[in-house]
Structure 1
Amino acid sequence: MPELRFRTNAKVERLIGRELITNNKIAIFEIIKNSYDAGAKKVEITFRNFLPFRDNNGTIVSDTRSYIKVCDNGKGMTLDEIKEYWMELGTPNKEKNRVEHFRVRDSQIESIARRVNGEKGIGRFGVDKIGSSLIMDSIDRHLSMRTIVKFNWEHFNNTNKLIEEVPCKYKIRNVPLGAHSGLSLKIKNLRDLWSQRDIIALKRSLRKFLSPIQAENDEFKILFHYEYKENGKVVRDSEELINDTFDYLKTNISTTLDINGNGFYEVYDKDEIVEEKNFNFESKHPFGAVELRIFYLDRYDKSIFSKKVGLTTREYGNIKIFRENFRILPYGESHNDWLEIDNKHAQGVFRTFATRDVIGYILLSYDPEKGNSGLRDATDRVGLIEDVPEFDELKNFVWMSIKILQEYVFNREKARAKEAVNILKIESASLKDDVVQMVSSFKNFVDKTEMPKTEKKMFYKELSTYGDELLRKADVVDNASKELDKKITVFAQITAKEGILYDMLHTIKNKLAVINAQIRGFSYQLDKLNVSISTTELDIAFQSISKLVEGALNKVNTSRLRKIIVPIDKVIQDVVDSYKPRLHEEKIEVLTILKSQEIMIRCNPEILKNNIFENLLDNSVKALQSINSKKIIIETEVDNSYVNIFFSDNGVGIIESKVPFIFSLWSSNTDGTGIGLATVKDSIEDMDGQIDYVELDDTNKKTTFRIRIPIIKNVGD
């Protein structure tokens, strides 16, 4: 049957050039990326015949004589390669040959294997966005020929022609003595007026395009030249662009993940490793090997950063993605919160970072051995294809590292605050000693003088009054430091990883579950026994919630931390009894094996019930939803000066890769908020206790937590 075939109008060049590539910065970036793909170790950008810089950054510094030249020392092209690759739209050459091997002439001949970035075959047309005229000068890798091609992009505006009907003239020349392979692009008839601000912004962007890892900067360099005339002489300002943004930031996490999901992280503080751990990141949709580094900036760091970079951290952006040495836009730009960091910060301002608090980078590769093939560039050259599960898993992996760094930073700040209070206590005690010693010294001095008795008596009275006043002020400082110490502890416990609101809501949610279970339980009893139901338990539960809500509004009252001595068995039994209706409704068998009769502990009973046991019970109920024979086992045993509480269930268990992070913020294995276990951990540590996840060789105990709480042997302690 007859066939139809597409034809390509010359207008398509404009569509994929100046219209698809939206600004000059992206256009120059595309050119530099092509230089990298060509094996270049160096690319030079020269702004020639521009005007001198003035005080006003808005000053226009380009005119009709200005042009931009981009030169590299890559493999270059022969005439045949220009015809076959450069002159063909969407050529698949780079996509087929993801690894290129080059012989680059520098001080010596060396071989470079490099993963290419481009794969769409359209980046070359970005030069049309910059200027309407191009002179391409190419020397191939074998130094066999020099090819010069002239392009007038305005000729492609003729819609009466097909793109292959628009001629581009070329000439062949001998290779000059001492020349090296590479490509030179001279872009004339600039389409836009360039201001000082535009050039400064370009350099700033190119710095951010480069990898912040110094080893990679050594492999590929960008040199920037700016030429202008001043007093009749040509002045050339040159600099190497380097991304050194992270060199001075001291608090950060470095995480690596290999293609098999084996990972390792290190937390650094002032160039020292303060925490490190191996882990396994299990994923149904692996995204390959990844490296990342995330930096935390406090107020001082932000101030230095702004002076060094010329931008605030909010203006600079947050966590950026690099592939083979180059930025993938728009991730991490100031307007792009691709990880939804600020959204989570808004939900819990006390214990989470905002985008202004973190910057960092993620390193991906085109290397098939790294397994990043699921993270592909979008067709419009901006960003990655995001509607794939690999991209979501990448975000989960990044958040894992953010959580670890958050946990370290906030624990560090809490420790620093307590240290400051301790110093205040010491200084106030020293002040009181000094006052007493000073008053005594003055009295001894006056006793030895020839002063009349009446004057001595008056002096002693004034001295005593003055000394008492100093001691009173010292007591005020001492009491203030003690109260501040309590407030710090209260605040740390109130926030319980996510602030007042989350602490309140999480506890209320558990209480509501109890009420709901009681209602269902009473209905069950009504159907079964046909008797009246007492509302006592409901009244108690509602009153408890009322107290929680009221208490949440006054949580900085240090009486919340008041601890009393209670029998641990009674606390456990009370919690189990209040939960029985819900557990019955869920068909969960609860077994309590308590070997801690008459064992007393010091705690706040409400916190022990609400923040600890009810959270653990609530998590178990969720974990047991898909299990047929559901069991929760609570056991206690005495271990010297501690009571051990083992809390187990035979639910779905915890994924091995999540075990190291279960007490971290937002970590959840039951589709919850990920706050419960963080609250449990803080509350237990406030009692000088400890909670650990333990693995037992028992099929009835898929998940087990061991809680250790100090025993009060003498009630008067």
Structure 2
Amino acid sequence: MKELFFRTNSKVESLIGRELITNNTIAIFELVKNSYDAGSSKVEIKFVDFLKSNNNSVISTENSYIEIRDNGSGMTLQEIKDYWMELGTPHKEEKKEVRIRDNQIKTVVNRIVNGEKGIGRFGVDKIGSKLLLESTSFVEEKKTVVYFDWNRFNDRSKLLEQIPCEYDLVDKDPNDITGLKLKISNLRDNWITKDIDNLKRDLKKFLSPIEEENNEFKIFFEYIYTENGEVINEKERIVNDSYEYLKTNIFAEIDTNGLVNFEIVDKGIVTDRHEYLYSDGAKFGAAKIQLYYVDSADKSIFTKKMGLRTSDYGNIKIFKDNFRIMPYGEPHNDWLEIDKRHAQGIFRTIGTRDLIGHILLSNDPENGNNVLKEATDRVGFIEDVPEFSNLKSFVWEIIKHLESYIFSRIKERAKETTKILQEESASIKNEAQDLLTTFNNIISSTNLPKDQKDEIFKEIQSKSKEFSKKINNIENASKQIENQIKIFSQITSKEGILFDMLHAIKNKLSVIDAQIMGFELDINDAGLDIKTDTLRIAFSDIYKFVDESLNKVKSSKLIKEKNNIQDILDEAIGFHNIKFKKENITLNTKFSTETIFVKCSKEAIKNVFDNLFSNSIKALSKITNKIITIESIIRDNNLEIYFSDNGSGIPEDKIPFIFSLWSSNTGGSGIGLASARDIIEDHGGKLLVVDLKKENISTTFLIKIPIVG
């Protein structure tokens, strides 16, 4: 059989270069990643012969060029031929990590390679049409200089491998260091100051916000321009300042005698400072700890600055002489079992999603940290020793100090807010009444006809009622907050009782299970046709709920699998069918989700449906013609389920608080809807109250949840 082979047209160079890479910032970012992968400890980015920064005016000229230089391993001529000049080289796939040596501390560290596709270097063509590559390697006496003219590759009549790139071998200068220098000229785009600022911002995301981690890889930025005949060189180090925007942190240090000093800083102000002797001592040696609490606003800022969520960044990392001890603090490494404890005290503890930070240790004998021995596989410390347990206990001590401050602050701020709301609403009410009286007096004193005066009085009275209604809503909101603070305080002191109750319920469920089995045997012996499937499903759901609540490892992170949403909904409907018949409730369904799958915890989503059914049944209790309607559609890659009833409805002033704890309008706790919303949001969706503006519908809940293929 004859054979055919692919050929590569020169057009491919632009397809994977300036056409694939969307902007200059991404192109430079790719080149910086290559420097990191080459084992560099620093990379310098120089903008040369640009104009002085001037708002949004063009600052690049025809003589401007960009130079990127690193101090990595460099490439030999053969490596340039084999790797740089080969499209899509698998070199980085085969060599997943490089080893670099810092000449000052003589320590070898491993670094995982970032790039794998082998095309990032073609981003140079996006920046400029000409490139001078200069590579200095340890193993060769001369350095290699290669000249690239990317415009040559615009000749579509040639194959990629037919277009030459000239090179020279040049003697090394005594001051030359190993590494790679890229000089990019004939810039394709006009640069403005905003482009420079965007580049600096994105480069920050490449770095860690922890200074100890940044010592391994530094980025320097130089901007060189001429002003009044003088060459000005502005140089700065790019640092990730994401931590600087976090408002609340605790810094603590302990010496070898167990003496602890800590201070809590909130919005730049030291709010708490203490010194005491740690009762368990410092068997692990001296240490420094810095922890940051991140609320929803902090998380948003951190994600914007870092380019990843706090949950993907990790939690509490350990460093020893500036080097990370893996895997502590990785996103899925909860080495302190923070979430396990958070599951037992959700109202008075913080989880890994709310906490980031680091612990600093040292090899200095005076610090005494050498008692913490690394495991034989070089991954982490030996953990089943008193010293490591002592370290964990101390970190927990510091976490609790931070937690105590956070939750006290939440309660105090809530109290202050409600007080202000109450005072302001009362003041506005009085002022409104005074204003109304003044208006009435003014109108009464005019010579307007009586019918016109009456019409004006009527209009003013109507507006006054609307205004009073809004003020009443504010007062109701403040009362809601005040009540929740009181109940919050009660719950935080009674969570231990709740946990014990769950244990007791689980034990009782085992007894009930045995009773059901005996009941089924009696039915079978008597030859009766009585179905116990629904009873079994209900028992199974209760048992799973209690068991998952007690599961300290998985309780805060539901296990999500691919499930057919229709099956879950049908099972929930089947469970409530007997109740529907008993209450004379008509269930209308219109589904378009028979083959739709979502990634979810089946039990959790079913629990949401159960909550909605229970609420509808309560709302329909005083209605004659009882109807529940469920409709589903697919919109923008989301499943939308509309869950409606024609019950008593939700009072307008209660709608803003319907998903708050203790907001029930039917005498319940209100926990059901609050829990349902949390579950849906944990699945990347939304639970909303919507108005369909249809007859015979008083309340509609909308569930939006992403679908999977």
Shorter-chain-normalised TM-score: which range?
Answer: 0.3 to 0.5
TM-score, scaled to structure 2: 0.46
Q: TM-score, normalised by structure 1?
A: 0.45
Which protein has the larger Cα radius of gyration, Structure 1 or Structure 2? 1
